[in-house]
Each structure stands twice: as structure tokens, then as C-alpha cells.
């Protein structure tokens, strides 16, 4: 299949223009339409990329047989109905994070896509940045050893969203990245969520997620809309090396420290004996060269490739679902005053596309 795939962008708000621009610039895609209930907003996006048809009608898009796929960038609560309609109409679907506003709805989307043999892709943009791709590869090669902890901080003076709390707004980034880079994905069995709403806006503006991982490891996320300083940092500690990703340091985003605590492992021994064999390494630091490349261009390419190769996307519906599982459990934990909550581990198999 050498001709271009045709895609419509649904939603012309904050993220839609970025999608439009990248589909427009891609050799895989022809941008077929911009669809938004607010026609003027759609027109502005269309003008910005040099003239693309606009429409207010989702039905028109879905009934157009020349359109292969849609990219959904509407408010989270509308992802589910729009995606279902698109899949019903035989379109491949990419959805802005989070995949849906509830796990059960996301599961329905994954199932329908599987049944129709259509690609359902979660637009986990960060997973396509040079930094995160590098982190994924380093962990996969065993460069860090076994993972001991992952600590992610994403704080900033952010818009208080009308419909979602800070967990649903920001944590999908951290969770999708963890799911992407950790071997076996983000396999947290429980999550404890601690939130605060000190301005009494009706939703958490500050949030913490603690997730025990297998083997005694832990993952933790700090998200915050009320911080005047901007921090976007993830520390991934391993038995061999520790990696720090500082996304706001363009001169050295990823640093790998050959520094840490060593432990000679032996079978059958007490914790005390173990403690006595701990030693400290003070090794070099290494920062891999990273290209400056726009992640969304890679997202567009992967969406096209998965359709053409009839395979699941790298951040497919299941990945989106695993993120929703944690967010759903976090919402429950929050309601329960911070008590750790079971994460629904019932996976929905995407199946193999035929």
C-alpha cells in the first residue's frame, strides 16, 4: 500500500492543531478533514495548515468511505462514544490520552477494535520522544539492571481543568511512560492516591500515587497544578545503574549514573547478613546524545505503520487500558481517604489484527 492514508482530526481545541500539523507534514497521511462542533475553531486550524475541509458533522466524516482513520482530540468524556462510532463505521482510531474517562469504557473500545480488526491506538505522545525511546531501550538491554524504583514528578502552574482532577489530567503521562519503559509494563497490583484540594475547587489539584511493584520495587508519581516552579523529572533506579530524565534540561535530558548501592546476592540469608554485604559505587555519569525530533511525527508514523502492517500499535488500546486501570483505582483510593486500592488486572486482549 503505497498511497497515503486519509485521516480526519476530531476536535480542534488544544491538541487538535498539533495533530493536524503533523498529519499534514507526514508522507504517510493525507489530512482529509478537521471536525469540530465549533466551525470557526475548526476553520482556524484548517487555515493554519493551509486549507483542509472542515465540518461540524461527525457523521459526515464517518460516512465518508475515503477516510481510513480518525484521530480524536476531544474532551475525555467524549472519547468513548466517538471512538465507538468510528470503529462501528470501520475507521481506525487514535485517541488522545486518557483513552477514556473510565476503565470499563476503554475496555469496550479495545474489544470493539479487536472484533473489527481495527487499530485502536492511544496517543501516548511522550513514549515517542527521543528521550523515552532511549530509556525504553536502555532498560530493555538490561543496562540499568532490575528496576528498584521509579519516581516521577510533573509539577507546574497548570490550568485547573473543569472536568478532570490533576490525576486524570497529568498522571496519564507518567503512567503511560512507566508502562512503556518498564519490562512487562506497569504491573502495579495496588495504588494509593493522596490528593488535596486546598482551594476547594471541587477536585484534587495536588496528587500523589504510590504503587508497589513486583519484587519490592515501587513506583511513585507526584502531579501538581499549583507549583510555580516547573519540574518534569523521572528517576529510575536499577540494580546496576540509575537513570535520571530531566525533560527541562535540553542540554542533558537523560543521565545515567553508574553509581549506587551494590549487593552480592546469595541464597538463603537473613536481611542482616544482606545488609552487611552492601557496598557503594561512585562511578561515572553518562548522557546519551539525543536528537531533537517532534514526538507527534513518530506517533503519526506508528499509527500508519500499524494500520498498514495489520498489527497492534506500540501504544495500543491495552496500554491505554492499563493506564485507565490505575487511574480508576486511584479515584477509588482517593474516595477511600488514601487507602491502597486494588488495580483491576483483568486485561482485555487486543488480539492480533487480521
Q: Interaction with a copy of itself in 205-224: which residues (CB under 8 A)?
A: 205-206, 208, 210, 212, 215-218, 220, 222, 224
- With helix as H, strand as E and coil as C, how does 68-136 read? CEEEECCCHHHHHHHHHHHHHCCCEEEEECCCCCCHHHHHHHHHHHHHHCCCEEEECHHHHCHHHHHHH
β-sheet bridge partners, residue 262: 279
Is residue 284 at the binding interface for a copy of itself, with CB under 8 A as the rule? yes
Q: How far is the CB of 272 from a copy of itself (least distance, A)?
A: 7
CA 26 – CA 224 distance, rounded (Å) = 34
**Residue placing its CB nearer to a copy of itself in the complex, 176 or 242:** 242
Closest to a copy of itself by CB, 1 or 280: 280
Give min distance, CB of 192 to a copy of itself, in A.
Answer: 5
For residue 258, state whether it binds a copy of itself (rule: CB under 8 A).
yes
Strands 190-196 and 206-212, sheet pairing: antiparallel
Helix (H) or strand (E) holding 194: strand 190-196
Contact between 261 and a copy of itself (CB under 8 A)? yes
Identify which of residues 130 and 317 has a Cβ nearer to a copy of itself in the complex. 130
For the segment 26-45, give every residue that binds a copy of itself (CB under 8 A). Answer: none
Burial per residue of 220-243, b for 16 or more beta-carbon CB atoms within 10 angstroms, e otherwise: bbbbbbebeeeebbbbbbbbbbbb
Q: Which of 1, 27, 40, 51 touches a copy of itself by CB under 8 A?
A: 51
* Of residues 280 and 354, the one with the C-beta less far from a copy of itself: 280
Length of the chain: 354
Nearer to a copy of itself, 1 or 264 (CB): 264
Of the listed pieces 72-80, 94-102, 118-126, 256-264, which binds a copy of itself according to CB under 8 A? 256-264
Instruction: Classify residue 251 as exposed, middle or buried by CB count within 10 Å of its CB (0-12, 13-18, 19+).
Output: exposed
Instruction: Sketch the per residue contact string, 109 through 148, with a copy of itself: x for CB under 8 A, - otherwise.
Output: -------------------------------------x-x
Please select the residue that binds a copy of itself; options are 92, 97, 105, 203, rule is CB under 8 A. 203
183 and 215 in contact (C-beta within 8 Å)? no
Toward a copy of itself, which CB reaches closer, 210 or 353?
A: 210
CB 97 within 8 A of CB 170: no
For residue 196, list its beta bridge partners.
206
d(CA 128, CA 108): 26
Binding mask 225-254 for a copy of itself (x = CB under 8 A): xxxxxx----x-x-x--x-x------xx--
Measure CA 52 to chain center: 28
- Is residue 271 within the footprint of a copy of itself (CB under 8 A)? yes
Out of 160, 301, 305, 332, which residue is the one contacting a copy of itself (CB under 8 A)? 160
Please tell me whether residue 263 binds a copy of itself under the rule CB under 8 A.
yes
Please report the sign of the dihedral spanned by the C-alpha atoms of residue 42, residue 44, residue 48, residue 52: positive
Q: Which stretch binds a copy of itself (CB under 8 A): 33-41, 80-88, 174-182, 287-295?
A: 287-295
Q: Is 201 in the site for a copy of itself (CB under 8 A)?
A: yes
Query: How many other C-beta atoms lie within 10 A of the C-beta of residue 352?
Result: 10
- Whether residue 348 contacts residue 113, with contact meaning beta carbons closer than 8 Å, is answered with no
**157 scored as a contact of a copy of itself (CB under 8 A):** yes
96 or 165: whose CB is closer to a copy of itself? 165
Selected binder of a copy of itself within 2, 3, 198, 354 (CB under 8 A): 198
Give 112 or 147: the residue with its C-beta nearer to a copy of itself: 147
65 near a copy of itself, rule: CB under 8 A = no
Cβ closest to a copy of itself, residue 58 vs residue 139: 139
**Which residues lie below 8 Å from residue 195, measured CB to CB, with a gap of 6+?**
165, 166, 167, 204, 206, 207, 208, 334
Amino acid at each position: 500500500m503505497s498511497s497515503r492514508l486519509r485521516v480526519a482530526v476530531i476536535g480542534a481545541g488544544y491538541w487538535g492543531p498539533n495533530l493536524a500539523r503533523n498529519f499534514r507534514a507526514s508522507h504517510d497521511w493525507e489530512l482529509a478533514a478537521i471536525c469540530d462542533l465549533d466551525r470557526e475553531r475548526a476553520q482556524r486550524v484548517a487555515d493554519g495548515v493551509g486549507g483542509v475541509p472542515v465540518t461540524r458533522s461527525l457523521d459526515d466524516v464517518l460516512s465518508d468511505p475515503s477516510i481510513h482513520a480518525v484521530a480524536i482530540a476531544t474532551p475525555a468524556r467524549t472519547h468513548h462514544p466517538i471512538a465507538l462510532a468510528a470503529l462501528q463505521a470501520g475507521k481506525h482510531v487514535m485517541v488522545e490520552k486518557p483513552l477514556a474517562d473510565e476503565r470499563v469504557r476503554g475496555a469496550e473500545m479495545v474489544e470493539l477494535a479487536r472484533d473489527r480488526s481495527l487499530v485502536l491506538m492511544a496517543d501516548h505522545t511522550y513514549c515517542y520522544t527521543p528521550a523515552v525511546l532511549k530509556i525504553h531501550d536502555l532498560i530493555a538491554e538490561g543496562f540499568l539492571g532490575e528496576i528498584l524504583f521509579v519516581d516521577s514528578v510533573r509539577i507546574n502552574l497548570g490550568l485547573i481543568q473543569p472536568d478532570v482532577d490533576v490525576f486524570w489530567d497529568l498522571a496519564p503521562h507518567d503512567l503511560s511512560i512507566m508502562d512503556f519503559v518498564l519490562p512487562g509494563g506497569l504491573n502495579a497490583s495496588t495504588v494509593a492516591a493522596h490528593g488535596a484540594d486546598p482551594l476547594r475547587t471541587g477536585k484534587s489539584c495536588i496528587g500523589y500515587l504510590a504503587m508497589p511493584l513486583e519484587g519490592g520495587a515501587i513506583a511513585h508519581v507526584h502531579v501538581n497544578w499549583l507549583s510555580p516552579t516547573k519540574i518534569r523529572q523521572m528517576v529510575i533506579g536499577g540494580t546496576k545503574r540509575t537513570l535520571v530524565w530531566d525533560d527541562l534540561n535540553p542540554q542533558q535530558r537523560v543521565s545515567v549514573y553508574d553509581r549506587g548501592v551494590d549487593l552480592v546476592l546469595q541464597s538463603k540469608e537473613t536481611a542482616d547478613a544482606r545488609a552487611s554485604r552492601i557496598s557503594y559505587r561512585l562511578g561515572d555519569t553518562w548522557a546519551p546524545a539525543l536528537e531533537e525530533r517532534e514526538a507527534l511525527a513518530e506517533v503519526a508514523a506508528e499509527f500508519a505503520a500499524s494500520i498498514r502492517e495489520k498489527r497492534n500499535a506500540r501504544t495500543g488500546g491495552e496500554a491505554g487500558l492499563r493506564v485507565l486501570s490505575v487511574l480508576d483505582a486511584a479515584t477509588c483510593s482517593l474516595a477511600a481517604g488514601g487507602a491502597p486500592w486494588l488495580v483491576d488486572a483483568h486485561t482485555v486482549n487486543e488480539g492480533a489484527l487480521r
